[in-house]
Amino acid sequence: MQFRALSRFAVILGSLFLGSAVAGAAEKIKVGVTAGPHAQIMAVVKAVAAKAPDGLDLQIIEFSDFVQPNAALAAGDLDANSFQHLPYLVAQNKDRKYALVSVANTVTFPLGIYSARVKSLSELKPGAKIALPNDPTNGNRVLLLLQKQGLIKLRAGVELATPLDITDNPKKLKLIELDAAQIPRVLKDVDAAAINTDFAVQAGLTPVRDAIAIEDPKGPYANLIAVRASDQNKPWVAKLVKAYHSPEVRQYIERQFKGEALVAW
């Protein structure tokens, strides 16, 4: 009887230890990113999440395009992704019938306006030429920035503004639409040029140092962490956001990218 009692006790004790071990195991989460800065930052997030008392075990999956991360997330092959801004996510949800939501901002790769002729937009003379990207998304970003700086006014309610949506242009600015990658080459030929961060960096420009106007890091084009709508209130989501928004990750972004990527939270 005593042996049987001890045996039952051992089984119960073993079960408790096993349950404790399982309960203490870090939850595994698959996060999709695009190669480059998003992957680099997520590697730091992974380290922070792993060492937290109630941490996560992040498996980082890299993609080489902007279509597959959302497709994989919607299909359940990922738990979250980090690579896009909100306008892109909204368009993807609309076009592909996804049910994906943003749960946190991450970083902004700010579009800036640069000039070899003036030191501020207020110095632009009437009829000044401004080069801007000819694609709808980045063109809209530039127009919103010019409007915020008080140089133009746009028709209200436009989702993606074009120069045709300008309702007021007091200085009669001449907007020249070009392929985004070509704009750094014409910087000296125009009065100002709006350049995406990646192309600016390739041309030896640093947004926070050289731009005469720059997007707000927390504006509509801040990048984000996306999850399925059905998962947004799950505990692991809050843990992931907490790890991303940690001081360690902020310090890494500021040290590693030196203004090419800006903290957006």
The pair of structure tokens assigned to 188 is: 């000296």
CATH of domain 112-214: 3.40.190.10
For residue range 105-136, list pLDDT tens digits in order. 999 999 999 999 999 999 999 999 999 999 99
Superfamily name and number for 2-109+220-263: Periplasmic binding protein-like II (3.40.190.10)
Confidence check: pLDDT of 11 > 50: no
Sorted by where each begins, the domain ranges of the chain are 2-109+220-263, 112-214
Q: At what angle do helices 247-257 and 37-51 cross, to 10 degrees?
A: 150
Q: Output the six-digit token pair for 23.
A: 């309960």
Confidence of residue 262 (pLDDT cuts 50, 70, 90): very high
The mean pLDDT of 1-5, rounded to a whole number, is: 41
Q: What residues form DSSP beta bridges with 62?
A: 33
Six token digits for residue 222: 């801040």
pLDDT tens readout for residues 152-200: 999 999 989 999 999 999 999 999 999 999 999 999 999 999 999 989 9
Beta-sheet strand order (sheet of 192-195): 174-178, 129-133, 192-195, 112-114, 213-214
More confident residue, 70 or 18: 70
Q: Is the pTM of this model over 0.75?
A: yes
